[in-house]
Chain A
Amino acid sequence: MKKVFLTCALIALVWGLGYTAELEYFQVHKPQAGMSADEIMQIEYFTKYTKFARDIELNGKAYFIDKSGSVRERSTQRIRITLGRKSDDVAYKDLVTFTSPQVKGLGSLTWTYMNPKKQQDSWLWVPSLKKIRKISAANADDSFMGSDFTNEDILTRRFEDETYSLIKEENFAGYPCEFDKKTYSKDAPCFVIECKPIRSPWYYSKRVLWVNKNTGAGIYEEMFDSTGRMFKTIFKDYQIYNVNGKEYPAQVMLEVKDMRSGHRTVITNSDIKFDQGLSEDLFTERALMQSRW
Chain B
Amino acid sequence: MVKEGERMKKLLGALILFLLTSLTAAYAGFDFSGYLKNETSLRINEFNGDLTKFKNIVQLAGEYQFNEDLALFSKVRYWYDAMYGFRDEYDAGQRYQGHVQRTDWLRDCYLDYNNGPWFLRLGKQQVAWGQSDGIAILDRVNPFDLTEYWLQDFEDLRIPLWMANLNYAPRLNSNLQLLIIPDFEQSTAAYPTAPFVFYSTSRYENWRLAQNEVDVNIHYPAKRFENSTFGLQWSDKIGDMDYTLNYLSGYYYSVRNYTILVSFPLRRWKVERSFKRWKMYGASFNRTITNEGPLQGTTLRGDFAYYDDEPMYWGNPITASSSGIKRLDNIFWLIGIDKYVVTNWLVSFQFAQYILQNSKPGATTSAANYYFNPYTYGPQDPQENIFSLKISTDFMNERVKPEILWSLTDDNQGRVSPKVTYELKDNLFLTLGIHYFYGSLFDSNGQFRDQNQVYGNLKLTF
**CA A128 to CA B403, docked complex, whole Å:** 15
Closest Cβ neighbor of B167 among chain A residues: A286
On whether the beta carbons of A101 and B33 are closer than 8 Å, the reply is: yes
Stretch at the interface among B178-186, B296-304, B376-384, B431-439: B296-304
* A284 cross-chain contacts in B, Cβ below 8 A: 169, 172-173, 175
* B427 cross-chain contacts in A, Cβ below 8 A: 101-102
Closest Cβ neighbor of A264 among chain B residues: B397
On whether the beta carbons of B299 and A72 are closer than 8 Å, the reply is: no
**CA A118 to CA B288, docked complex, whole Å:** 11
> At the interface, yes or no: A20 with Cβ under 8 Å from chain B?
no
B 317-366 contacts with A by CB, 8 A: 338-340, 342-344, 346
On whether the beta carbons of B425 and A104 are closer than 8 Å, the reply is: no
A 13-68 contacts with B by CB, 8 A: 64, 66
On whether the beta carbons of A130 and B297 are closer than 8 Å, the reply is: no
**CA A135 to CA B169, docked complex, whole Å:** 23
> At the interface, yes or no: A139 with Cβ under 8 Å from chain B?
yes
On whether the beta carbons of A280 and B172 are closer than 8 Å, the reply is: yes
On whether the beta carbons of B153 and A293 are closer than 8 Å, the reply is: no
> At the interface, yes or no: A163 with Cβ under 8 Å from chain B?
no
**CA A85 to CA B204, docked complex, whole Å:** 64
**CA A53 to CA B28, docked complex, whole Å:** 28
* A66 cross-chain contacts in B, Cβ below 8 A: 396-397
* A84 cross-chain contacts in B, Cβ below 8 A: none
On whether the beta carbons of A146 and B397 are closer than 8 Å, the reply is: yes
> At the interface, yes or no: B260 with Cβ under 8 Å from chain A?
no
**CA A131 to CA B233, docked complex, whole Å:** 14
* B399 cross-chain contacts in A, Cβ below 8 A: 64, 72, 146
> At the interface, yes or no: A119 with Cβ under 8 Å from chain B?
yes
* A138 cross-chain contacts in B, Cβ below 8 A: 340, 344
Chain A 102-125 per-residue mask, 1 if CB under 8 angstroms from chain B, else 0: 101000000001000111111000
> At the interface, yes or no: A129 with Cβ under 8 Å from chain B?
yes
CB of B303, distance to nearest CB on chain A (Å): 12
> At the interface, yes or no: B462 with Cβ under 8 Å from chain A?
yes
On whether the beta carbons of B290 and A290 are closer than 8 Å, the reply is: no
| CB contact under 8 A between A136 and B340, given known A101-B462, A118-B292, A292-B112 | yes
* A133 cross-chain contacts in B, Cβ below 8 A: 131, 133
Q: Interface residue tally of chain B, by bracket?
A: 35 or more
* A290 cross-chain contacts in B, Cβ below 8 A: 112, 114, 119, 121
Partner of B338, one of A71, A135, A141: A135
| CB contact under 8 A between A142 and B344, given known A72-B425, A130-B158 | yes
CB of B124, distance to nearest CB on chain A (Å): 13
On whether the beta carbons of A139 and B297 are closer than 8 Å, the reply is: yes
On whether the beta carbons of B155 and A128 are closer than 8 Å, the reply is: yes
> At the interface, yes or no: A263 with Cβ under 8 Å from chain B?
yes
On whether the beta carbons of B288 and A292 are closer than 8 Å, the reply is: no
On whether the beta carbons of A145 and B398 are closer than 8 Å, the reply is: yes
Chain B 108-124 per-residue mask, 1 if CB under 8 angstroms from chain A, else 0: 10001010010101000
On whether the beta carbons of B343 and A113 are closer than 8 Å, the reply is: no
* B299 cross-chain contacts in A, Cβ below 8 A: 134-136
CB of B78, distance to nearest CB on chain A (Å): 18
On whether the beta carbons of B33 and A134 are closer than 8 Å, the reply is: no
Chain B 146-175 per-residue mask, 1 if CB under 8 angstroms from chain A, else 0: 000000011100100000000101001101
**CA A72 to CA B428, docked complex, whole Å:** 10
* A121 cross-chain contacts in B, Cβ below 8 A: 240, 288, 290
On whether the beta carbons of B397 and A102 are closer than 8 Å, the reply is: no
* A280 cross-chain contacts in B, Cβ below 8 A: 172
Partner of A128, one of B154, B339, B346, B426: B154
Partner of A143, one of B154, B291, B397: B397
> At the interface, yes or no: B406 with Cβ under 8 Å from chain A?
no
CB of A232, distance to nearest CB on chain B (Å): 13
Chain B 266-294 per-residue mask, 1 if CB under 8 angstroms from chain A, else 0: 00000000000000000000111011100
A interface residues, how many (CB within 8 angstroms): 46
> At the interface, yes or no: B14 with Cβ under 8 Å from chain A?
no
> At the interface, yes or no: A281 with Cβ under 8 Å from chain B?
yes
On whether the beta carbons of A134 and B301 are closer than 8 Å, the reply is: yes
> At the interface, yes or no: B429 with Cβ under 8 Å from chain A?
yes
On whether the beta carbons of B242 and A139 are closer than 8 Å, the reply is: no
Closest Cβ neighbor of B395 among chain A residues: A143
**CA A283 to CA B124, docked complex, whole Å:** 26
* B301 cross-chain contacts in A, Cβ below 8 A: 134
**CA A263 to CA B396, docked complex, whole Å:** 9
> At the interface, yes or no: B79 with Cβ under 8 Å from chain A?
no
Partner of A134, one of B35, B288, B461: B288
Closest Cβ neighbor of B169 among chain A residues: A286
**CA A118 to CA B155, docked complex, whole Å:** 34
> At the interface, yes or no: A147 with Cβ under 8 Å from chain B?
yes
**CA A145 to CA B299, docked complex, whole Å:** 20
Chain B 408-446 per-residue mask, 1 if CB under 8 angstroms from chain A, else 0: 000000000000000101110100000000000000000
Partner of A130, one of B61, B154, B340: B154
**CA A19 to CA B340, docked complex, whole Å:** 33
> At the interface, yes or no: B39 with Cβ under 8 Å from chain A?
no
**CA A118 to CA B240, docked complex, whole Å:** 12
A 128-182 contacts with B by CB, 8 A: 128-131, 133-139, 141-143, 145-148
* A289 cross-chain contacts in B, Cβ below 8 A: 175
| CB contact under 8 A between A136 and B63, given known A64-B397, A146-B399, A286-B119 | no
Closest Cβ neighbor of A129 among chain B residues: B154
On whether the beta carbons of B339 and A136 are closer than 8 Å, the reply is: yes
**CA A104 to CA B461, docked complex, whole Å:** 9
**CA A129 to CA B299, docked complex, whole Å:** 18
* B291 cross-chain contacts in A, Cβ below 8 A: 117-119
> At the interface, yes or no: A127 with Cβ under 8 Å from chain B?
yes
CB of A97, distance to nearest CB on chain B (Å): 12
* B288 cross-chain contacts in A, Cβ below 8 A: 119, 121-122, 134-137
| CB contact under 8 A between A127 and B155, given known A73-B426, A146-B398, A286-B167 | yes
Sort A-B residue pairs by CB-CB distance and give the 3 closest, nearest first.
A146-B398, A131-B128, A101-B461
Given contacts A134-B301, A136-B288, A293-B33, 17 further A-B contacts (CB under 8 A): A66-B397, A117-B291, A117-B292, A119-B291, A128-B153, A130-B126, A131-B154, A134-B288, A135-B299, A136-B346, A137-B290, A142-B344, A145-B398, A146-B399, A281-B172, A284-B175, A290-B114
Sample (21) of A-B pairs whose CB atoms are under 8 Å apart:
A72-B425, A72-B426, A73-B426, A104-B461, A117-B291, A118-B291, A119-B297, A121-B290, A128-B153, A131-B139, A134-B286, A134-B301, A135-B299, A136-B340, A139-B344, A142-B340, A281-B169, A284-B169, A290-B121, A292-B108, A293-B63
